[in-house]
Amino acid sequence: MAALQLLAVQKNYAELERTLKQLDGSMDQMSTQHYSANLTVNVILQNAASRAADLGIDFHASAPLPETLKIDVSDLCSLLINMLDNALEAASAAEGAREIDISIKISQGFLAVKCENTYSGPLTADESGQLQSTKPDPEYHGIGIAQMQNVVKKYNGMLDISHTDERFTVAAALGI
């Protein structure tokens, strides 16, 4: 609900409609796996696991978190949903192994999130070294990363994006 409200507040109606359709189709198939005591994180990971299964992606998650976090639910949703949407899209197009590994934990006063996924194809960067989106619709290029950067900034954290030839990694730390 928080994610849907966030999309409505941002007037991102296309993404809101897509998310509602996606939720409607996946609620019955949602994983019963328990990933976290935090309800928001658990539901997001269950949804991602269900979507990954539908796409033939091996999904592994670890989120040993308490029931409550000192992070606004809409910010948590924005960070995790964007991160996992990107990972699902990239892993679904990967040649060979199709995997997503995500870990979310509290460490040294930070909520630490690390998401790794397989991918295929060339990555391109602009003059400043910023990776360019491979999405076919230019309207949505870079929006997810910008939203993740805004959340990280709000919590005096950091966002690190790196890759090898076969794996893409996004790591975030939010001060709590």
Neighbours of 101 (CB within 10 A): 17
Task: Give the model confidence (pLDDT) of 75-128 as tens digits.
Answer: 999 999 999 999 999 999 999 999 999 999 999 999 999 999 999 987 766 676
The CA distance from 19 to 17, in Å, is 5
Say which CATH number the domain at 57 has: 3.30.565.10
Q: Which regions of the chain does DSSP assign to beta strands (E)? A: 58-62, 99-107, 110-118, 158-163, 167-175
Residue 8 — very low, low, confident or very high, per pLDDT cuts 50/70/90?
confident
Residue 29 — very low, low, confident or very high, per pLDDT cuts 50/70/90?
low
Residue 50 — very low, low, confident or very high, per pLDDT cuts 50/70/90?
very high
pLDDT value for 132: 54
Residues pairing with 159 in the sheet: 172
Residue 31 CA to its chain's centroid (Å) = 17
Q: What is the mean pLDDT of residues 19-40?
A: 75
Q: What is the mean pLDDT of residues 11-21?
A: 81
pLDDT value for 27: 56
Higher per-residue pLDDT: 160 or 139: 160
For residue 108, give its domain range.
Answer: 2-175
pLDDT value for 101: 98
Higher per-residue pLDDT: 134 or 64: 64
Number of domains composing the chain: 1
Higher per-residue pLDDT: 20 or 87: 87
Higher per-residue pLDDT: 76 or 141: 76
Q: What are phi and psi of 63, to 5 degrees?
A: -150, 65
Pairing of strands 158-163, 110-118: unpaired
Among residues 145, 102, 106, 110, the alpha carbon closest in space to that of 126 is found at 145
pLDDT value for 75: 95
* Helix/strand/coil for 116: strand
Q: What is the mean pLDDT of residues 46-50?
A: 94
pLDDT value for 19: 78
The CA distance from 76 to 36, in Å, is 14
